[in-house]
Structure formats: structure tokens, C-alpha cells
Amino acid sequence: MKVILGLSGGVDSSVALKILKDEGYDVEAMFMRNWDSATNNDILGNPDVNDDVCPQEKDYQDAKMVADELGIKLNRIDFVEEYWNTVFTYFLDEYKKGRTPNPDVMCNKYIKFNAFLKHAMTLGADYIAMGHYARVRHEKDKSYLLRGVDSNKDQTYFLCQITQEELRHSLFPIGHLTKPEVRKIAHEANLYTMDKKDSTGICFIGERNFHEFLKNYLPSTPGNIVTTDGKILGKHDGLMYYTIGQRKGLGIGGSNEYENAAWFVCGKNLETNELIVGQGHDSELLISNNCFVSSLNWISDKPEEGKKYQAKFRYRQADIDVTVKFINDDLMQVFYPSGVRAVTPGQAAVIYDGEVCLGGGIIDAAYMDLEKRMY
């Protein structure tokens, strides 16, 4: 059985490759090149853009070292155009709307489990594999996406938009392991990437100054930071740089007019270009108990109305008890009576039935009962 694994140059995919080899699969690796600074700058007609940091070549060299150590063939494939058209343009469009997108969700949807799978099939693959902390249970007629054993690293949240057909052809070799166990295997095998730190940057773009990077692609329009009653407290650098519930970077000093409590982003007014803030981490302005979710995708089973499920509205969030109501095939309302802080438009709402990740969609708006939040 032939398996082609996405080898990123990180320790997780490196260990996944070793496991597949040890288990006797006919395995090859494939490195995805998805970001080209020069090409993308040319598309924008801006060749002088400050975007000279490209970590992918170093990642490729790391991947090549691991593949060579394990005696595995490494293919290299270019998905730059696909990434730009399906992930990065979406990323920019969401910021233009004042939302906070999650590029990792879309990268999995369009690149890692779509474009990658299609190319792997041309190379004779029966399955693809990734170094995600997730598990899959393949049954005769259906496959189920299961949470990774390491609850702190579980990545099923980012996989909520993949399809049943894609999952049917997917393996997750490290999903049954914890991160320390993965590191241990890497050290025992003396893999080149055994001590490489985890990437925390934008999917395939890498770690860089986010403000400076985004400024290259979207115009920055400063405006006022205001309270809910319109009092101006300061200036913001551009609405795209802020997310709901954010405290850091507001630059609001103390004032005799208000209590001595921290300020948090509570909303955005795109028409007036105002950033709306309120005081207190758990301000009622940040709490909602229902939200509307679109771009729905169900991997195995569609949730039933009235049945209790668990949900996550951001990565690593504790499970939240929810019920759902379908408005139509591509819009649902999610109810969470206990109330949740900073349920943010543009982020994914992912539904779980115990260990099984059913899928989810993208948050459009949050409400407290019938009152829409300012975001």
C-alpha cells in the first residue's frame, strides 16, 4: 500500500514519516512549496515590498535531511498559484471585511487535503498522510475524524473543512501520541529535526512581523479608538490589526473618567473606521450565547437539532456544550446557554460528538439572545 506523506521539515511530520516506514508502508514524502515572495509581489505590482524573509527553503533542506536519513524519496511540488488563489486571497478578503480569518483551516481545505491529494494520486498513492495531531477511524462505508490523544495539541479544529472523500484517503501517524512522545521518538532515531521548534507563523508564510507583512497587501487606515458611547480614547493603526477580545497593543492610558480597569476590543465599525473598546476581560459586551455559522461542512455525520454536542470557537478552547438549529443547508445557529467570550466572526466553529469531529463552518455573527454583538 503506497502512502505519500506531507513532509514539512518539522519534527511532527518527520516522526510521522519514520512511523510509516517502520510499519512497512511503501512510503514517499512530498514537500509543498506554497509561498513565493517574488511571484506574489509581482502579482501585486509591488516588487519592492519588504518581504525578504522566506523560511521555506530552510524547511525544504530540513525535510531533505530527514528523508535522506530514512532512505525515503522526497518529491517537491509547487502549489504557489493554488495557495494564492484559494487561501491567501481569502485571508485578505476577510481582513477587508473587518473579520479575523483562520488561514490554517483554509490551507487544509484547499491545499493539504485537496491539491496535495490530487497530486499524490497521480504518483500512485493509495493514501496521503500528514503530521497532524488527529486520528482517523476507517470503517467499511465511512471514515471518522477523531481528536488527537494529546488534548493540548489536538488539531482537528483546523481540519473541520475537509471532506469525507479526502478523509477516506488520509492517515495521521502521530495522532495517538503526545508531543513529548513524538520528541522522544525523534531523539531515539536521531532525526535531524528532533530539536526544531514548532512553527507559530501564518500557514506556509512563516513567522514575521504581522503588522508589517499585512501592510504590504492591504492599505493601513488609522482611525479612532472609541468607547461604546463615542468617547475618543486614542488612535488605532488600522482595524485589520485587531481582533475581538484583544487587550495588548491598544495603547490606552489611564483616565479619571473611567475605572482603573483594562480595556478590550469589543467591536469594529467599518463605516466610521472606529475600533470600539470596553473595560473588563469579561465585559458583557464580549459575551454571547448564540451565533450564526455558514460555509458548513460535515465530514461524517450532520448534527441533529436539539441534541447536545460540544463545540470550539477557537483553537485549544475548552469544550462548550451546544445545540444547533439549521436555517438552511449552509447556515446554522449554534446555542451555548452558558455564554462564551469573544466568539469572533471569521473564525471556525467546530462541532464534536465526543471524540468525533463532525465538521463545522465559519462564524458570521454573535448574539446575546436577540441582541447582535458589535462584531
Which pLDDT belongs to residue 258? Answer: 85
**Residue 291 is among the residues annotated as catalytic for this protein:** no
Q: Where are the domains of the chain?
A: 2-212, 219-279, 285-372
Q: Bridge partners of 222?
A: none
- Is 107 part of the annotated catalytic residue set? yes
Q: Which residues pair with 115 in a beta bridge?
A: none
DSSP state string for 57-83: HHHHHHHHHHHHHHT--EEEEE-HHHH
Q: How far apart are CA 113 and CA 106, in angstroms?
A: 10
- Selecting among 203, 266, 291, 357, the annotated active-site residue is 203
196 Cα distance to chain centroid: 21
* pLDDT value of position 35: 81
C-alpha cell at 153: 495539541
Architecture of domain 219-279: Roll (2.30)
Nearest of 249, 258, 271 to residue 229 by alpha carbon: 258
* Pairing between β-strand 134-138 and β-strand 223-226 as defined by DSSP bridges: unpaired
Q: What is the pLDDT along the chain (375 residues), one digit of tens a residue?
A: 999 999 999 999 999 999 999 999 999 999 999 887 554 444 444 444 444 445 678 899 999 999 999 999 999 999 999 999 999 999 999 999 999 999 999 999 999 999 999 999 999 999 999 999 999 999 999 999 999 999 999 999 999 999 999 999 999 999 999 999 999 999 999 999 999 998 765 665 555 567 777 888 888 899 999 999 999 999 999 999 999 999 998 988 666 778 888 999 999 999 999 999 999 999 999 999 999 999 999 999 999 999 999 999 999 999 999 999 999 999 999 999 999 999 999 999 999 999 999 999 999 999 999 999 988
Round to whole Å and give the CA distance between 267 and 46. Answer: 32
Q: Which three cell numbers stand for residue 224?
A: 479612532
C-alpha distances out from residue 117 to 110, 126, 128, 130, 182, Å = 10, 10, 6, 11, 25
How far apart are alpha carbons 247 and 239 in whole angstroms?
14
Structural fold of domain 285-372: Elongation Factor Tu (Ef-tu); domain 3 (2.40.30)
Q: Which of 107, 160, 291, 357 is catalytic?
A: 107
CATH class for the domain made up of 2-212: alpha beta
